[in-house]
Chain A
Amino acid sequence: MATLIKQELTATWSGVRLIRLNEQVGTLLNEIDHVPNVLSACVCDNRGKLLGALVNGAWDAGEFNLAGVAIAQCFAAFQSKTECRDLEFRFEKKWLYARELGNAFVVVFYPPEMNLALLRMTLNVAAATFAADPELQKHLTQVAASKRDTLAHTFLDILGAQLVEQGNLLK
């Protein structure tokens, strides 16, 4: 049984906003928990900051945040050129699947034996409610306006900044 990690009270997330966020993130991650073989999952805002996670055993918010920023940057880069709702990455035996949620995104980590069709369908169903919640989407935009922000120099090393420039990703 995986553990659900919720967003804690912060200056940004408090009161009704926090309750709504935790409800929607909780519903989404609990649906993902039904898919066999899921190792962990997390929901991040447009800047890749962790909003909630589903973990098995020990976990490190820093690692999720690192992955979150990198995936937000990938979404931003692809979306500057084409429509992109899903990303799939494969690193040896740990693979991940990321799905747009409007002004957030969810990332699922899984082994190669995953039934991807079942995961995609679960995400279709579970993400629809999250992405269609206008109040939550408004709050998320206020917290982190756009994934494109992660392509700014402050988020990149020299090589990354050069690639963004060469690819005209911010034009």
Chain B
Amino acid sequence: MGSISNLSQVIFKMSSGDLASEINLKPEAWRILTQVNGGRTLAEIAKNVGMDEATAVNLADTLFKAHILEVAPGSVQPASESVDAKFFNNITRELAKAMGPLASVIVEDEIAALGEALENFPRDRLADLVERVSESIKDNTKRLNFQRLMLEAIRKL
């Protein structure tokens, strides 16, 4: 679970915003929430409630993604999940089928334009990248087909 590799060192606080919809919490999640105070790391919370760190990390990840928790000021930031470099071979191969041999250059250029690097490209920016490289495909049908394939690939990650 790349996105939460450092989550045990993150300090959370309760979200200050309203929740977008109704949510249901498991008892284990409640145990975590009762300990969140904007000062303890998740590892400390796990120890306090007698829970193994991996379980606490998974629960906190869910609560964080549901916007129940947010990162406290001064805490280390959760690392963003990066994409396996093999995925870019797939993008480049499919792009080359649609628009020709410059595909690899375009993929590299667009990664750089997003201010990212291939080695640790964040997963949540993949759709941005695909959308940008799609612009180089002039044929509408080919562009749509490329996006369809990439969408399926992103979902499988």
- Mark A residues whose CB is within 8 Å of B: 34, 39, 56-57, 93-94, 111, 113, 115, 117-118, 120-122, 124-125, 128
Instruction: Give the docked Cα–Cα distance between A101 and B155 (Å).
Output: 24
Q: How far is the CB of A44 from chain B (nearest CB, A)?
A: 21
**Which of A34, A56, A118 lies in contact with B127, CB distance below 8 A?**
A118
Q: How far is the CB of B80 from chain A (nearest CB, A)?
A: 12
**Which of A56, A115, A118, A124 lies in contact with B144, CB distance below 8 A?**
A124
Q: Which of A57, A93, A117 gathers most chain B CB within 10 Å?
A: A117
User: Given that A113-B67, A128-B144 are known contacts, is A121 also in contact with B130, CB under 8 Å in the complex?
Assistant: yes
Whether, in the assembled complex, B151 has its beta carbon less than 8 Å from a beta carbon of chain A, the answer is yes
CB neighbours (8 Å) of A57 from chain B are 21-22
Instruction: Give the docked Cα–Cα distance between A82 and B21 (Å).
Output: 36
User: Given that A115-B127, A128-B144 are known contacts, is A34 also in contact with B155, CB under 8 Å in the complex?
Assistant: yes
**Which of A39, A118, A120, A125 lies in contact with B148, CB distance below 8 A?**
A125
Q: Is the CB of B127 within 8 A of A111?
A: no
Instruction: Give the docked Cα–Cα distance between A69 and B59 (Å).
Output: 41
Chief secondary structure at chain B's binding surface: helix
Instruction: Give the docked Cα–Cα distance between A111 and B21 (Å).
Output: 10
Instruction: Give the docked Cα–Cα distance between A39 and B131 (Å).
Output: 23
Whether, in the assembled complex, B116 has its beta carbon less than 8 Å from a beta carbon of chain A, the answer is no
Number of interface residues of B (CB under 8 A): 20
**CB pairs A–B below 8 angstroms (28 shown):** A34-B155, A56-B21, A56-B22, A57-B21, A93-B17, A93-B18, A93-B20, A94-B20, A111-B20, A111-B67, A115-B124, A117-B125, A117-B128, A120-B131, A121-B127, A121-B130, A121-B131, A121-B134, A121-B147, A121-B150, A121-B151, A122-B151, A124-B144, A124-B147, A125-B144, A125-B148, A125-B151, A128-B144
Encoded as 1 (CB less than 8 Å from any A CB) or 0, chain B from 135 to 153 comes to 0000000001001101100
CB neighbours (8 Å) of A39 from chain B are 20-21
Whether, in the assembled complex, B99 has its beta carbon less than 8 Å from a beta carbon of chain A, the answer is no
Q: How far is the CB of A46 from chain B (nearest CB, A)?
A: 24
CB neighbours (8 Å) of A34 from chain B are 155
| Pairs of residues from A and B, 8 with the lowest C-beta to C-beta distance, nearest first | A118-B127, A117-B127, A117-B128, A111-B20, A125-B148, A117-B131, A121-B147, A124-B147
Instruction: Give the docked Cα–Cα distance between A56 and B124 (Å).
Output: 24
Whether, in the assembled complex, B154 has its beta carbon less than 8 Å from a beta carbon of chain A, the answer is yes
13 more CB-based (< 8 A) A-B contacts, given A56-B21, A128-B144? A39-B20, A57-B22, A93-B17, A93-B18, A93-B20, A115-B124, A117-B125, A117-B130, A118-B151, A121-B134, A125-B144, A125-B148, A125-B151
CB neighbours (8 Å) of B151 from chain A are 118, 121-122, 125
CB neighbours (8 Å) of A121 from chain B are 127, 130-131, 134, 147, 150-151
